C-alpha cells in the first residue's frame, strides 16, 4: 500500500515508518517542529520526505495514497500552555488532513489522540467516559476526535483515533524536555545526575513502549471501521519512584531522585488504560516496562 505519515520524523512517527517500509511505499510529511530527519536515517533511502505543514497538505502535489497516519500534531500539554494558539494549529492541521482524505478518497485516516482526555477522571480509563474541560491540549485532541466523526457522518471519511497513554522508546531525543519521563530520567541517570520529580513521586502512568504503539497502528490499519477511538496502553501503571528504582537496577546505580514542589495546576495524578476494547480486536501489548527500558538502553537509534 501507499501510506502517508504526517509527523513521520517525530518520535512515534519514525518508529512507525521503520515498520511500514518493510511492506509499503511511504511518504513522510513533517515540519520538523519536534521531529528530526536523524530519526529517519535508517529509512530515508526507502521513503519520500516532504518538509512542510499539515496545513498545506491540500496544496501539495502528493502521490495518491491508501492510508494516512496523522501523527503530525503538537504532542505535549506544556507546549499548549506556553502557546494557546497551538490549539487552532492542531485543529486546522487536522481539518486539512480530513479535507485531503475526502478529496482524494483515502481509504482510512488513523490519527493520534491522547490519554490526557481522561484528566480529572478516575482510572481505569475507558473510551466511553465523559471528557471534562481541563486544558488547551485536551480541548484540541477532543475537538479533533469530534471533527473526525463529523467527516465520517457528512462525507464517509473513515477514521480511527488512538488515545495513546504514556509512550516511551527510541527516537525521543529531538523532543528534549517534552520527552517521556522514562527517557528523561534515563538520560539524566546515565550522566550520574539525580532525576527531578515533581511532588513525592507516587504519581502513576500507564507506560507503553513505542513498539507496542506501532503494533496497534498496524492492527487498526488492516481492520475496517467507519469511525472509532481506542485506548493504546498496557493496563498496568507504575509510579515515578518505581521508574527510578527500575533504572537504578538496570544501570547499576543508586541515585536518589530530587523532589520539588508541584508547579503544575490540574496535574494528572494517575493514568491507567482500560484495554478491553482494543484487546477485543486481538491486540496484546508485548513489552513490560522493564523490557522496554532494556531496549532503550541497548538501542543505538
Same domain, 49 and 188: no
What's the CATH code of the domain at 256? 3.90.25.10
Q: Which domain holds residue 67?
A: 2-165+208-232
pLDDT band at 164 (very low <50, low <70, confident <90, very high): very high
Same domain, 87 and 176: no
Convert the pLDDT of each residue in 211-257 to its tens digit.
Answer: 999 999 999 999 999 999 999 999 999 999 999 999 999 999 999 99
If one counts the domains in the chain, the total is: 2
Residue 299 has pLDDT above 90, yes or no: no
Q: Hey, which bits of 24-94 come out as E strands?
A: 25-30, 47-51, 67-70
**Mean pLDDT to the nearest integer, 105-122:** 97
pLDDT score at 300: 59
Residues with catalytic function: 137
**Mean pLDDT to the nearest integer, 207-213:** 98
Specify if 19 maps to a domain.
Answer: yes
Specify if 100 maps to a domain.
Answer: yes
- Asked if 158 contacts 109 with a C-beta cutoff of 8 angstroms, the reply is yes
Same domain, 8 and 138: yes
pLDDT band at 53 (very low <50, low <70, confident <90, very high): very high
Same domain, 98 and 217: yes
**pTM above threshold 0.85:** yes
* Calpha distance 15→18 (Å, rounded): 5
Q: Cell numbers of 70, please?
A: 496523522
* Calpha distance 62→5 (Å, rounded): 12
Same domain, 223 and 243: no
Average pLDDT value for the chain: 95
pLDDT band at 275 (very low <50, low <70, confident <90, very high): very high
Same domain, 140 and 85: yes
Q: Which residue has the cell 482510512?
A: 108
Residue 205 has pLDDT above 80, yes or no: yes
Convert the pLDDT of each residue in 56-73 to its tens digit.
Answer: 999 999 999 999 999 999
Q: Cell numbers of 129, please?
A: 467516559
Same domain, 113 and 223: yes
DSSP 271-289: --B--HHHHTTT------H
Specify if 277 maps to a domain.
Answer: no
Q: What percent of the chain has pLDDT over 70?
A: 99
Same domain, 226 and 249: no
Same domain, 132 and 242: no
Amino acid at each position: 500500500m501507499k501510506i502517508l505519515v504526517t509527523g513521520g520524523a517525530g518520535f512515534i512517527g519514525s518508529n512507525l515508518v521503520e515498520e511500514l517500509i518493510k511492506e509499503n511505499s511511504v511518504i513522510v510529511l513533517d515540519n520538523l517542529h519536534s521531529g528530526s530527519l536523524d530519526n529517519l536515517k535508517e529509512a530515508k533511502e526507502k521513503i519520500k520526505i516532504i518538509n512542510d505543514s499539515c496545513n498545506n497538505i491540500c496544496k501539495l502535489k502528493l502521490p495518491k495514497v491508501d492510508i494516512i497516519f496523522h501523527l503530525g500534531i503538537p504532542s505535549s500539554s506544556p507546549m499548549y500552555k506556553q502557546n494557546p494558539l497551538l490549539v487552532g494549529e492542531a485543529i486546522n492541521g487536522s481539518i486539512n488532513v480530513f479535507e485531503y482524505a475526502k478529496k482524494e478518497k483515502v481509504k482510512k485516516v488513523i490519527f493520534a489522540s491522547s490519554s490526557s482526555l481522561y484528566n480529572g477522571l478516575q482510572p481505569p480509563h475507558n473510551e466511553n467516559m465523559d471528557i471534562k474541560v481541563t486544558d488547551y491540549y485536551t480541548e484540541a485532541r477532543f475537538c479533533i476526535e469530534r471533527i473526525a466523526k463529523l467527516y465520517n457522518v457528512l462525507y464517509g471519511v473513515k477514521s480511527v483515533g488512538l488515545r495513546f497513554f504514556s509512550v516511551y522508546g527510541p527516537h525521543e531525543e529531538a523532543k528534549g524536555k517534552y520527552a517521556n519521563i522514562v527517557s528523561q530520567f534515563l538520560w539524566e541517570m546515565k550522566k550520574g545526575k539525580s532525576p527531578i520529580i515533581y511532588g513525592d513521586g507516587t504519581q502513576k502512568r500507564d507506560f507503553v513502549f513505542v513498539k507496542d504503539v506501532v503494533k496497534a497502528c498496524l492492527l487498526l490499519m488492516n481492520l475496517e471501521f467507519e469511525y472509532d477511538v481506542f485506548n493504546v496502553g498496557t493496563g498496568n501503571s507504575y509510579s515515578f519512584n518505581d521508574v527510578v528504582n527500575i533504572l537504578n537496577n538496570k544501570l547499576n546505580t543508586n541515585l536518589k531522585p530530587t523532589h520539588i514542589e508541584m508547579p503544575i495546576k490540574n496535574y494528572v495524578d494517575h493514568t491507567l488504560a482500560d484495554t478491553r476494547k482494543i484487546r477485543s480486536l486481538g491486540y496484546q501489548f508485548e513489552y513490560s516496562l522493564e523490557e522496554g527500558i532494556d531496549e532503550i538502553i541497548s538501542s543505538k537509534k
